[in-house]
Amino acid sequence: MNVLDARGKLAAALAPLADSDPMVLDNLVDSLDPPVLMLGWGEPWLLPETPCLRTGRLVVTAVGGRLEPGAGIESLEALVDYTLTRLASSGEAWPLDSVSGPRVFTVGGIHYLATRIVLRVSIQGGP
């Protein structure tokens, strides 16, 4: 795939199938309503492999809920399980690079409990 299509393909692979599935945001936002999956690029964004092939790092930020007492970790675990299951059944190769531990993620001054699911993708393009 190329860099212009990667986030869109990932969004399609994770798109909600049922009303209970989390919303997928394929861009960075200044407010959100958890549970939600937000897509973006990681660091490093692209690594050269050959003159026409790179490895990209796409990130699914799984936001379980506001940082408050309650079932935050369980909600986050369910989002990670949902994401990995959907990717495995998508028909595309989405190799897992890493999953961060739960952490505070701030959007619009509101603190959420979130994790980063980092995927490796082959990106084709010229030099």
Q: What would the pLDDT profile of 107-121 be if each residue is shown by its tens digit?
A: 989 999 999 999 999
Distance (Å, rounded) from C-alpha 43 to C-alpha 30? 21
Q: Where are the domains of the chain?
A: 6-124
Mean pLDDT score of the chain: 91
Tell me the per-residue pLDDT of 49-76, one tens digit each, with 9 for 90 and over.
888 889 999 999 999 988 776 667 888 9
Taking CA atoms, 107 is separated from 31, 65, 79, in Å, by 6, 12, 18
C-alpha 9/C-alpha 14 separation (Å) is 9
pTM: 0.91
Is the predicted pLDDT of residue 127 greater than 60, yes or no?
Answer: no
User: Length of the chain in residues, anyone?
Assistant: 127
Tokens of 37: 């999956």
CATH of domain 6-124: 3.30.70.1700
Interval 82-106 mean pLDDT: 95
Close Cβ partners of 43 (under 8 Å, ≥ 6 residues apart)? 57
